[in-house]
Structures are given as C-alpha cells and as structure tokens.
Amino acid sequence: MTTNSPLFDRIRVKPDRDRRLRAELPGCQWPGCGEPATHRAPKGRLRASEYWRFCLEHVREYNNSYNFFAGMSDDAIAKYQKEDVTGHRPTWKMGSLGGQRSRAGRAGFRGTGWAAEDPFDLFGDGHASRAKPVSEGRRILNAQRRALDTLGLEADASRTDIKKRFKMLVKRHHPDANGGDRGSEDRLRDIIAAYNYLKAAGFC
C-alpha cells in the first residue's frame, strides 16, 4: 500500500497542497501557461458574472492592466460613480410623493384635510411649512430646565422674571433674613448656582 496519493492528503495534518492543486484545479487560462488556476479575475464591466481563471503570477499581471471603466467617456464615468453611491437605484426627494405634486393631488392621499394632520409637512414638498411657519421658542436644554425649576420658573421665563425671582429667593433664604438660621443654606447655594448657570447661558 502506498501513501503517496491525493486521497491521503485529506487525513494528513499538513497535506501536500501543491499535489492537490495539480490534481483538482483547472489549468491557468493565460496563453502558454500550464500552472493550476488558483485565482479568478473578472472579464469586464459588461460581463460581471464571468471570470478568467489564472495562476497567482498571471492574475497579478492581469490586475495591473485591468480597467473597469475602459471604453467609457469622462462624463459616463462621473455619472456611474455618482449613481454608485445609491447602488444604482433610483432616488426621490424627501417626502413620500417626491415633492412635485400639487396640494390638490396630495389631498387624495388621506382625504381633503390630510394636510392639517401633517403640521410639519413630512409627506409634502415643504409648502405647508412655508405657508404656516411654526413659531420656534427658545431652545431649552435639560440642565437649563433644571436650573429654571430650581428658581421655580417655567421655560418661557424672561430675563426680568429670572432676576426678580433670584433676588426674592436670596432674601428669603439668606441667614441674615432668618435671624442667623442656616437651615436654608443648602437651598440658597442651589439657587445661586442655578442663577449663575442661567447667566452664563445667556438667560439673564
């Protein structure tokens, strides 16, 4: 019995890879080459599912001269690259109807009054938001809201309201106003910190 057979390569720890390649792989398709074809290379842009079979040496040589955009003009290459961003799939403007139809046409989507149910014009072309601008108030961060809560104020408080409330709370919780009682000292510290934060944030 001989062990010099490709069948034994399946159970060996380190099989003879060169012999298996010669026995199982097709030959390199490079003219005049008889080496096993260990790699494949695309045949071209218009033959995307077809491949050449080459050995390592010739696949490197083929790749060095391969040009995917061969035969395309500069404009066609630029268009291809732009469409490749979306996988060459069609795209539309933001909005389910593309933003090109009239409001009368859009009314059929959810009835004649559906635009009233879409105050931010998410499903349209932006006309509704321009016709009825949404009044934007002051943007309040969570930390700013907490500082206003510490002073007992709402988010729409004006600078005058903040200053007036701060002075009133300082007088109420200051030890001098309470006969030297320091029971409200922590509360006073929170009020001063909240006011300083709002002042740094441009609220007062």
Per-position DSSP letters for the chain, written without gaps between them: ----SGGGGGTSSS--HHHHHHHHSPBP-STT--SB--EEEE--TT-TT-EEEE-HHHHHHHHHH--TTTT--HHHHHHHHHHHTTTT-----SSTTTT-S-HHHHHTTT-TTGGGG-TT-TTS-SHHHHHSPPPP-----HHHHHHHHHTT--TT--HHHHHHHHHHHHHHH-GGGGTT--TTHHHHHHHHHHHHHHHHTT--
Whole-model pTM above 0.95?
A: no
**Where do the structural domains in the chain lie, given as residue ranges?**
6-65, 92-136, 142-200
Query: What is 142-200's CATH number?
Result: 1.10.287.110
Residue pLDDT tens, the chain, 204 long: 566 666 655 565 555 555 555 557 788 989 999 889 888 898 887 777 889 899 999 999 998 888 888 888 989 888 888 888 888 787 777 655 544 444 544 444 444 444 445 556 666 555 444 444 433 456 778 888 899 999 999 888 888 999 999 999 988 888 877 777 777 788 889 999 999 998 888 877
